[in-house]
Structure 1
């Protein structure tokens, strides 16, 4: 969420500075491809905002819960889509390990430090004191100081595996790539299935299958889907099928969450997990749908490029904006219908966060962290 390639003619595309660009790599791609990925990135960022707005009402079974479940289920693909964009742009690239480490980590660490310290300073001003500067550093190193910053920490770990995942990608034949994805999907889905079915067997531990487990598999999936899309013969039909499947799978996530919650006696987010089977399938369809729509959005390429360049900042600051919006309007708890309040709040928060980031990026010093 590193764009290092070139447009024809040698100029670095503006998308190279886009959001989540600290975990993206870019090969030589055409403008349609760049626009398609920009659209996917912008939509995924907006889905993150909807997700966090909807989550407010999830933990209590009341008349607002179904709206929360609906929007949350429809937006679970947001983080996987970001990771799949990373894989589509990063795995096919070849570069020396020192070059990879230097470029990628220099783009991850500044945003992580800046936004962590920003939220710590705000929390401290609000009365949550962290103590000495040594304690500040200890808290920062121990994990995210605000829940949504977990992604920046996760990217650091994913980066450590990317050079090896890249080697697997280049060394694999088509059948081997499919086998890798099948093993990753089965292994990663097992913890959710195990909890849902009440199975005691620890298959991952017994057979040491942990090598195939984790979010890094989404990078491989994104690279594979990106490659496969280029070989599609009937693109309109392929796009329509993926859009329909995404809608059906989102409804399935919603239904499974309801049934699980009713079974356990309270709201249970088991099927919301990014590695649950329904979310994995929905995420693949979401990537194909957004990518396909983006291939048809060339007329909006300039606007998408500009917004895409701000999505890292929007992701990092949107929780701060959301809390201020809640305090100023009281909308989430004002008794209005959540069916329109959730998307309305998300649109307002996204727009305000985007405006703030665009303003910040006018100063060169802030471009490395937004």
Structure 2
């Protein structure tokens, strides 16, 4: 029997590990969608299936943050010092690594740089993102700024007020999806704040359903979200003649549904296979931020070595590349931690 306190920690560790693996699967499979968006062949469909199935990954990370932080009474000094050491320092280090890698690649392509060019290039990349996946960290930092105030509000709100907030958030997402408002700031702003509140609400709410019924509802939510994302992407892409990611957007109601389903399923079930698998899952969870920061660099060098989703048929190539990327992305922060002061930059 797993102690109750450990069970709570366990499902969050499991959920973090699932989201980490899902991010890698998403970034391995997504290039197929852009490479084959004109023919919509079997490669495109496999990319669409994998991508739709794991689209919940980033929302789930945010929901975990809401679960862990919104219930807490926060001492601002301690809170921000921990965020700086845990989030900001590794982010800055790995951003510089990505910048250096880009500069080296440009140099290899024959481009020369003066000192002021390097400085300008570095500042620009730090401001706008040194790699495509690092947008998440900028967004996360913004969420951390509002969590102390959001947490105080939510702890003093009634259940109906929280339900009203979530209903309003979902309606705004639906209006954005079908109203074609693009990245209008009003519709974009509340996107991830809603996921913070959703994670808190699900983790604290007793839905008064049996575990069996709750699991069925959660599975239905997940599968419905995946199918709507998958078919919606296909229909819009076919009609417009070019790849459309509107259903992939984290504001999409179908992504909200799949993220909610995965969250509830994992919360309800403390999956344990054996101690070796449990130890691996725990390690992935603990290294999740470092894995997230470094995995795109790992994918870059794997691709340079000819290993990607299509080095063999994608049905096998996607999971194999993702597994290899996962273990290398775990190894890097583990090795960095062994360097002097490495624990501060590994992630």
TM-score by length of 2: 0.88
1:188 and 1:213 in contact (8 A); partners too: no
Count, aligned residues? 333
Alpha-carbon separation, structure 2, partners of 1:110 and 1:152: 11
Once the two structures are TM-superposed, the CA of residue 103 in structure 1 deviates from its matched residue by 2.2
Mapping of residues 86-235 of structure 1, within 5 Å: 86-127=65-106, 131-132=115-116, 134-195=119-180, 213-228=190-205, 232-235=208-211
Q: What's the CA shift for 1:366?
A: 2.3
SS in 2 for 1:271: coil
Q: Does the 8 Å contact 1:144/1:150 carry over to 2? A: yes
The alpha carbon displacement at 1:234 in A equals 1.2
Deviation sequence 1:272-318 (CA, Å, 0-9, x none)? 00011111111111111222233656955544322211111111111
Computed over aligned residues only, the root mean square deviation of the Cα atoms, in angstroms, reads 2.6
Give the 3 Å change call, closer, same or farther, for CA 296–227 of structure 1 in structure 2.
Answer: farther
Query: For the residues of structure 2 that align with 1:342 and 1:211, how far apart are their CA atoms?
Result: 31
1:31-65 deviation digits (Å, cap 9, x = unpaired): 11111000100110110001011111111233210
Is 1:282 matched up with 2:258?
yes
Q: Any unmatched runs of 5+ in structure 1?
A: 1-7, 9-28
Question: 1:203-223, CA deviations, whole angstroms, 9 ceiling, x for partnerless residues?
Answer: x89xxx669722121111000
Matched residue, 1:42: 17
**Offset, 1:168:** 1.5
Structure 1 position 356, deviation (Å): 2.4
On the 8 A contact 1:252/1:278 being kept in 2, the answer is yes
Q: Which residue among 274, 285, 289 is the counterpart of 1:308?
A: 285
Question: Would you say 1:31 and 2:6 are equivalent positions?
Answer: yes
Q: Quick check: 1:38–1:294 contact (8 Å CA) kept in 2? A: no
Q: Could you list the per-position Cα deviations for residues 84-133 of structure 1 after superposition, in whole angstroms to 9, with x for gaps in the alignment?
A: 00000000000233332232233221021001001111111222577536
Alpha-carbon separation, structure 2, partners of 1:140 and 1:327: 22
Counterpart position of 2:44: 65
Runs of 5+ unmatched residues, structure 2 = none
Listed one character per residue, the Cα deviations across residues 222-250 of structure 1 (whole Å, up to 9, x for unaligned) are 0001112x554411331233123312320
TM-score (norm 1): 0.82
Tell me by how many angstroms 1:190 deviates.
2.1
Check the 8 A contact 1:249/1:281 in 2, yes or no: yes
Partner of 2:247: 271
Q: Assess, with a 3 A threshold, how the Cα gap between structure 1 residues 125 and 85 changes in structure 2: closer, same or farther.
A: same
Task: Indicate conservation of the 8 Å contact 2:74/2:148, yes or no.
Answer: no
Give yes or no for the alignment of 1:85 onto 2:64.
yes
Aligned equivalents of 1:317, 1:329: Cα separation in 2: 19
Q: Residues 304 and 187 (structure 1 numbering): CA distance in 2 closer, same or farther, change over 3 Å?
A: same
